[in-house]
Structure 1
Amino acid sequence: MQVIPVLDLLDGHVVHAVRGERSRYRPIRSSLCATSDPIDIAHAMLHATGARTLYVADLGAILDRGAHVDVLAALCVALGEDVAIWLDAGFSDFASMRALFERVSLRCGGAAASLVPVFGTETLTDARAIAEADAAGYEPILSLDYRGGRALGASHGDSAWWPARVIVMTLDRVGAHDGPDMDTFGSVRAAAGERCLIGAGGVRHGDDVALVGHAGAWGWLVGSAIHELRLGRSVFE
């Protein structure tokens, strides 16, 4: 079971995400390093976890306040091709995803090969984007977004259009110290077949990591528990 560090970008900073209440997000105060600079935080989280995958939520793009093109380009250069960057930037369709990827690639001199698109149902309006991105070689990930037990956006019930990797994102559990939403994860697990499932939200400590691993999660997106040093080293070994 892989612990995948999370970076939430807003106004040029890494911010502390809590329950998906984005208007209340403030620059992160991390025990890993005394800064909210995205490059420093990314290096610190990857070093702390040994992870080779970083999940990035560009909240500027998701909130229609402008994508962090320069920051994303700098992350691609700083982390190199050995670290995969899963990027959710509020894509509504394939065209919007491709346009941002091309802008980032131009800004970083073509070093954006590590970027992987995440299409969240909260913002996705054209489900054909998954197949189109896959055909173009991007290996897309679908994020099934939930809040308060309610599915957000595009239909979650028909799994035929789901790609090989699917995130179960419970927004109101993010940064809330309430534990993972095993009911929602279990319902998606039942529909997912052989797909690789990644959970998001609620992991507080090593016992939670063990719990979600036993429930069939390939990985889990984690932010607060890493910054607060609440995961023992054995979790990452």
Structure 2
Amino acid sequence: MTRCVFVLDLFNGSAVHALRGERERYLPIDTASSIVRTCDPLAILDLLRPKEVYVADLDRIMGTGDNLDLIGEIAREAETMADVGISSVEELALLPAGCRPVLGTETGSFDFIEEASFKREVVVSIDLFGGAVLARDPALRVSPLDLIRRLNPLPLKEIILLSLDRVGTSAGLDEPLLRKAADLSAHPLLLGGGVKDASDLDRLEDLGIAGALVATAVHRGTIPLEKIR
């Protein structure tokens, strides 16, 4: 069965509804959800009981604060991976041992990703917008398929293909890209962004994608709760 990783986007201690990477427009999740009436992340976990959680600390990614203590609490409730905008090996220690660091191309460098992968079990997020890799480091600003090739030799846990412009849109799958990526990658691939319903999860399995990050489809009820449990 396709892995379903439940997403919690944290902003100022609350869970918010992510939409197309337009972070200034994110609203509390209870304004967009048909299944929760709270934006308290721990209350949401208690209600939905997901097996596995992906957390994005938007405050720390944007440099306006952090939700690190809250992430530590979340990691005690579910298997957790977290993107907190880490950009140096020293910052790996910001996350507890039970929480897997997600290293995003938006904030990291290739040299850092390479070094970190030998220090700790990490996940790399290839952050995409309009099909192009979002990155400050020129070594990462290549096509997503070329970047997958470059990452193949590293001892990564897995890779996330995170299409920020598709997040929160239920736009469906970019099947040609996903098929090529799955054929190329030496690591399991997870898709973030655009998954609209349970049939998309079945299709991902057919394409060779190991799993998906899901939030909007869960909150809209088009992916049943048993999938994240």
**Superposed pair shares fold, TM > 0.5:** yes
Instruction: Find the aligned partners of 1:236 and 1:95 in 2 and give their Cα distance.
Output: 32
The answer to whether the aligner puts 1:147 opposite 2:129 as a matched pair is yes
Kindly state the Cα deviation for residue 227 of structure 1 after the two structures are TM-superposed: 1.2
Unaligned runs of 5+ in 2: none
Aligned with 1:97 (options 88, 92, 95): 92
- TM-score, length basis structure 2: 0.86
Q: Is the 8 A contact 2:190 2:212 kept in 1?
A: yes
Aligned positions, number: 215
Q: Which residue of 2 aligns with 1:176?
A: 169
Q: Which residue of 1 aligns with 2:13?
A: 12
Unaligned runs of 5+ in 1: 102-111
Residue pairs, 1:105-116, within 5 angstroms? 112-116=96-100
Q: Which residue of 2 aligns with 1:33?
A: 36
Q: Which residue of 2 aligns with 1:207?
A: 199
1:233 to 1:57, Cα distance in 2 relative to 1, 3 A? closer
Identity, in percent, stands at 32
Q: Which residue of 2 aligns with 1:107?
A: none
Kindly state the Cα deviation for residue 233 of structure 1 after the two structures are TM-superposed: 5.8
1:234 to 1:91, Cα distance in 2 relative to 1, 3 A? closer
Instruction: Find the aligned partners of 2:100 and 2:227 in 1 and give their Cα distance.
Output: 25
Instruction: Find the aligned partners of 1:169 and 1:233 in 2 and give their Cα distance.
Output: 22
The answer to whether the aligner puts 1:119 opposite 2:119 as a matched pair is no
- TM-score, length basis structure 1: 0.83
Kindly state the Cα deviation for residue 73 of structure 1 after the two structures are TM-superposed: 2.4
The root-mean-square deviation of aligned C-alpha atoms, in Å, is: 2.0
